[in-house]
Amino acid sequence: MNKLSRRRVLRGMLNGSAIAIALPLLDCFLDDNGTALASGAPMPLRFGTWSWGLGMSEALFVPKKTGANYDLPPEIAPLQPIQRHINLFTNYRVFKDAAPNLCHHTGWVILRTGIAPLTAINRPGETLDVTVARKIGNATRFRNLSATATGDVRDSFSYENGNTLNTPEFSPIRFYHRLFGEDFQNPNAPEFKPDPHVMVRKSVLSGVLEESKSLNKALGSDDRARMDQYFTGLRDLERRMDLQLVKPAPIESCRAPPSPEDLPAGLDADLVSKRHRILTDLMLMAVACDQTRVFNMYYAGAFSATTQPGYDKPHHTATHEEAVVVEEKCQPHVSWYTRRAMEEWAYYVQALGRIKEGAGTMLDNVLIYAMTDQSFAKVHAIEGIPMFTAGTAGGRIKTGLHVDGGGSQGTRLGLTALRLMGVDLTSWGTQSNTTSREISDILV
Amino acid sequence: MVCTLLLVAGCSSGTSDPKNSTSPLRMRLMSAQQYSTTLAFVFGTDVSDSVPSALPPLTRTDGMLELGAASIGVTSDQLQQLSQSAAAVAAKVVDEKHRDYLIPCKPAAKDAADPACARRFVQSTGRLLYRRRLRPDEITRWVNEAGAAATRLKDFYAGLAGVIEGMLVSPEVIFIVEHSEADPRRPGHQRLDAYSLASRLSFFLWNAAPDDELLQSAENGEIQTAQGRARVVDRMLASSRLENGVRAFFDDLLEFDKFNSLAKDSVAYPTITGATLADAREQTLRTVVDHLLTRNLDYRDLFTTHATFISMNLAAIYGIPAVPGWTPYEFPAETHRGGMLTQVSFLAAHAHPARSSATLRGKALRELLLCQKVPAPPPNVDFSLLEDPDSSLHTARERLQVHAKNPSCAGCHLIMDPMGLALEKFDGAGQFRETEKGAAIDTGGNLDGAPFSDVDGLNRALHDHPMLPTCLVKRVYSYGTGGPVSMGADRNVLAYLMQRFAQAGYKYPDLLRDIALSSAFSQIREPRAVAPDGTSPSPPPQVTALNLP
């Protein structure tokens, strides 16, 4: 293979060489475990995130009992059908240290990155899904999929760096076409024929990559970093085109869905729910079809503006302007919003459970990490932000538990998730959020 | 406010262009709109409109989305979407419907490579997409790509499609990378090279890549002479493409990206649909274009004018007779519908889904139109006084009195609420009302020392506010040069531009021309890298208090 570059190999293919020629070893085959999807092979491990906005009413959300078979207070009563598939984590803390408490920002940024942001527009580090995607997201068509039920393309808890948000899909139709449109290769199709157009596209991309290397020389350091990111992306895209030239292994659970209806803009809770469910079904089927192994669903998040028909305060406004009704131990409308969020969390987990994989379901092969941005949003509290997991991560964790963190770092759950996904870390987080302690209560 | 005004307007008494003023070299990501408009200009709107742009949304920076283009990066998944979109565009360009007029020659055979024809296409289309003439080695490479693909696919046009796709994801196409060169008029200093200047002008004035004539001006050196640049800029200002640029700027300035996900509560406002809100956005943009370009009127009068345009959807909201299509309309003076603040776009975008918000409207007025920053609320603010409003409190003014009594709220709310309260006779969807919950609405207030009793008075106070034109100058200059301004380095040029704007009667096209022809627009600060000859970068020019001749 001396001097046989991948580009030359592809050129050879374009000029009529046999398609069966072995490509030089690609990075995408180096870093994944259990990737073979042929019959009988282990299913790949996947990582997902889910988010809701504006926390909880503690008295109605946090169970009195810990461990298994915990009680389900009213705000999490909708979780009864999924209780055995999830874990609930309460009484964990995030630490802002010398940074200010940035409303609706500090909490989620720490839980997703382990780092306290310094300003309301500061996004330090990278979110944990990005770290995981670098580890397990290289052998699929998409490295990292994001979607939001809010309809706003800026609503995302996933970013590569401070300047690069992983933009979520919000239109069911667009999401469908991206996932199951022309470029989708059905792994169960009876015949496979490498698309020569893909070879052409890949060759052209290789050319762009080579052509533009000189650009970097003229750039300052910040711009050079952005251009490096572009080239990394281009190389990644090139590798993913290789995947389209190889026959995918059949996957029993993969069924390309029909095209969904598109939905209007709006944040009416019913509409958000409908959008969330359509996007969830599309996303999870893409996971079942092994189009991606890392995926983020944003039901709602910071400054959630979901509305309740006929009520004049959107969710965020209500958290601040609605009085706590002492007898009810909550702000009734705010609690209504939280319950709607939990109904959607239940839907999401049930959707995972509906997808059969081998002798079980997709829940057996995923770890879903779910969190919110505040604990008691009325006063922007970040102590005790509740979190969940769903799935057993290939039998590596137990489920059905309520774990009281005893005031320890919330980043422990992020560290646990990262390690479960194979990321080799001795610790995660910075300053007071640094932790090297997994949450052993859930580990098998 | 006064000190800020002095900072901008008071430090230069002359009206000459400060010759040593400079702006930074930048690398900007094309916005989705710029990408789409460029495709429309190069291939036609039926091609550009058929494919949604896949470029990521920009992050609002210093008040403008476009300023975020100088720092945003692109992920591999975003590139993948861009590649998909580029493939769709390429397929359209070479399909049987378009190939005869978008490709400047016919191949000798459709099922084989034709290097000569491919070369013609690569040279002409590549120049428009790359915004510069391609080098011989680049042309050869693309022609070879087209040939290899055509041979493989037995289709000349499919080969060209591959080339188009490649060009449309090239970093030199999607990033606007500016380059500098030694400035012969200022030895030891740098200026934008001719192609970079052409692109900066084009994205500023047209929100799209340069056309053939502008590139020619760069290639023949005309753009680098004072007279030549003036001729180029005047041609651009006279072009129908200028409307694209004006629309893009005001859409950004007014945060109309909100409309991409805006909706109103269907119970509170059953007649407000997505189509209504889309028309509200369009109404304001039509008003802006008509006022500033077509009629070349004083920018400040945008906030008092009763002249606008109405569609069928909007007629119901404004309570006026409906006429099909868009028609010019003059609101009677007594309707209180004078100026942009009273249009549905501003009123609905800065309100809650089911109710108005004096605070959001006041904040928008301060931040978008006066360039003032309202601090974020403190995290531990005590909201208890806002809770469970007493049923005897009918109006927003009564409810917001709470803020004035709370020291941690008062500081910020006193600079937002009075302006917003003047707009309280318009509900959360922008519909006029005389009362709220049966109570009369008091719309009196004070804008930085200018008292008013109703929204007409607010509009006049805003019209006469010294920060209104100053803010616009700052925003347009930063938008044109592609990044946030530095109040230290840019103060002289901003002062100069402000004076010129005032002297010309606050005419927007004149402001565009002054910015485009200013020294700072093309002279470069802090060269990014060593010069091609390997010499060290020139020291940045010293910005002094006054650099008048």
Q: Is the pLDDT of residue B5 over 60?
A: no
Are B529 and A11 within 8 A, CB to CB?
no
Question: Considering just the CA atoms, what is the radius of gyration of chain B in Å?
Answer: 26
Please say if the pLDDT value at position B394 is more than 80.
Answer: no
For residue B16, what pLDDT band results from cuts at 50, 70 and 90? confident
CA distance A436 to chain B (A): 30
pLDDT at B386 (0 to 100)? 60
- The shortest C-alpha distance from A327 to chain B (Å) reads 15
pLDDT per residue as tens digits for the range A97-111 = 999 999 899 999 999
Give the torsion through C-alpha atoms of B141, B143, B145, B150, to 10 deg. Answer: -170
Per-position DSSP letters for B411-472, written without gaps between them: HHHHHHHHHHHTTTTB-TTS-B-SEETTEEPP--EEETTEEESSHHHHHHHHHH-THHHHHH
Task: Using a CB–CB cutoff of 8 Å, tell me whether A204 touches chain B.
Answer: yes
Predicted confidence (pLDDT) per residue in B440-469, tens digit: 888 888 899 999 999 999 999 999 999 999
Q: Please answer yes or no on whether B267 and A230 come within 8 Å at the CB atom.
A: no
Q: Please state the pTM of the whole predicted model.
A: 0.88
Identify the bridge partners of residue B323 per DSSP, sorted by sequence position.
Answer: none
Out of A166, A225, A309, closest to residue B266 by CB: A309
Q: Find the CB nearest A265 among B141, B175, B261.
A: B261
Q: Parallel, antiparallel, or unpaired for β A46-51 and A294-298?
A: parallel
Asked if A335 and A60 touch (Cβ cutoff 8 Å), the reply is: yes
Contact B83 A205 (CB under 8 A): yes
Cα–Cα distance between A294 and A147 in angstroms, integer? 12
CA distance A2 to A412: 47
pLDDT at site B388: 55
Cross-chain Cβ contact A16/B267 below 8 Å: no
Mean pLDDT value of segment B341-354: 94
**In the structure, what pLDDT confidence band is assigned to residue B384 with cuts at 50, 70 and 90?**
low
Start-to-end C-alpha separation, chain A: 45
Within 8 A of A199 by CB-CB distance, chain B residues are 152
CB-CB under 8 Å, A121 with B353: no
The contacts of residue A132 (CB under 8 Å, 6+ apart) are A47, A294, A417, A418, A421, A423
**Chain B contact set for A101 (CB, 8 A):** 379-380
pLDDT bin (cut points 50, 70, 90) of residue B4 is very low
Averaged confidence pLDDT in chain B: 88
Would you call A163 an interface residue with chain B, using a CB distance cutoff of 8 Å? Answer: yes
Mutation target to probe the A interface, by most A beta carbons within 10 A, among B261, B277, B388, B436 is: B261
Q: Which of A200, A274, A337 to mutate: most B Cβ within 10 Å?
A: A200
Q: Are strands A401-404 and A86-90 parallel, antiparallel or unpaired?
A: parallel
Tokens of B361: 């409207």
The per-residue pLDDT for B391 is 62
Q: Is A327 on the interface with B (CB under 8 A)?
A: no
Residues of A in contact with B81 (CB under 8 A): 178
Cβ atoms of A82 and A350 closer than 8 Å: yes
Write down the pLDDT at residue B51. Answer: 83
Looking at the complex, report in whole angstroms how far the Cα of residue A124 sits from the nearest Cα belonging to chain B: 14
Poorest-pLDDT segment among A308-312, B1-5, B37-41, B216-220: B1-5
Q: A443: which strand partners?
A: A397
Q: Where are the beta strands (DSSP E) in B190-258?
A: 190-192
pLDDT of residue B397: 73
Name the DSSP class of A163. Answer: T
pLDDT at residue B174 above 80?
Answer: yes
pLDDT at site A23: 33
> What is the chain A residue with the closest CA to B72?
A163
What pLDDT is stored for residue A10 in this prediction? Answer: 40
Q: So where are chain B's domains?
A: 27-177, 249-378+392-464
The whole-angstrom distance between B54's CA and the closest CA on chain A is 10
Return d(Cα B355, Cα B358) in angstroms, integer. 10
Cβ pair B83:A201 closer than 8 A = yes
Q: Any chain B CB within 8 A of the CB of A142?
A: yes
Q: Which residue of B has its CA nearest to A317?
A: B352
> Which of B80, B170, B528 lies closest to A219 in CB terms?
B528
Question: Which of A61-75, A206-220, B256-270, B502-516 is predicted with the least confidence, judged by mean pLDDT?
Answer: A206-220
In this prediction, residue B389 carries a pLDDT of 55
pLDDT of residue B438: 80
- ipTM surpassing 0.85: yes
Asked if A431 and A97 count as a contact pair (C-beta separation under 8 A), the reply is: yes
| Residues of B whose CB is below 8 A from A312 | 265, 268, 352, 354-355
CA distance A251 to chain B (A): 23
Confidence of residue B266 (pLDDT cuts 50, 70, 90): confident
Burial of B246 (0-12, 13-18, 19+ CB in 10 A): buried
Chain A residue with minimum CA distance to B51: A174
Q: Chains A, B: CB contacts under 8 A, how many? A: 213
Backbone angles phi, psi at B332, to 5 degrees: -60, 150
Residue among B55, B77, B94 with most chain A CBs within 10 A, to mutate: B77
- Using a CB-CB cut-off of 8 Å, the residues of chain A touching B380 are 101, 379-380
Please answer yes or no on whether A101 and B380 come within 8 Å at the CB atom: yes
Question: Which member of A234, A313, A379 has the closest CB to residue B79?
Answer: A234
Cβ within 8 Å of B, A 77-96? none
Domain ranges of chain A: 48-187+262-442
In chain A, which stretches have pLDDT less than 70? Answer: 1-41, 211-213
Residue B143 CB neighbour total at 10 angstroms: 23
**A11, A166, A234 member nearest B148 (Cβ):** A11
B46: CB partners within 8 A, 6+ apart: B92, B98
Using CB atoms, which residue from A154, A196, A237 is nearest to B57? A154
For A49, phi then psi, to 5°, come to -125, 155
pLDDT at B282 over 90: yes
Helix, strand, coil percent content, chain B, rounded in steps of 5: 55, 5, 40
A218 touches chain B (CB under 8 A): yes
**CB distance A252 to A356 below 8 Å:** yes
- Cβ of A264 within 8 Å of Cβ of B274? The answer is yes
B388 Cα to chain A: minimum distance (Å): 5
Residue of A121, A183, A378 with shortest CB distance to B84: A183
Q: CB contact, 8 Å: A314 with chain B? A: yes
CB contact under 8 A, B71 and A163: yes
The token pair that represents A403 in the structure block:
């774990």
Of B75, B142, B171, the CB nearest to A164: B75
Q: Residue A378: list chain B partners with CB under 8 A.
A: 383
Residue B499 C-alpha, separation from nearest chain A C-alpha, in angstroms: 34
What residues of A are in contact with residue B78 (Cβ under 8 Å)? 167, 233
Q: Helix, strand or coil for residue A409? A: strand
Task: Domain A48-187+262-442: state its class.
Answer: alpha beta
pLDDT of residue A166: 94
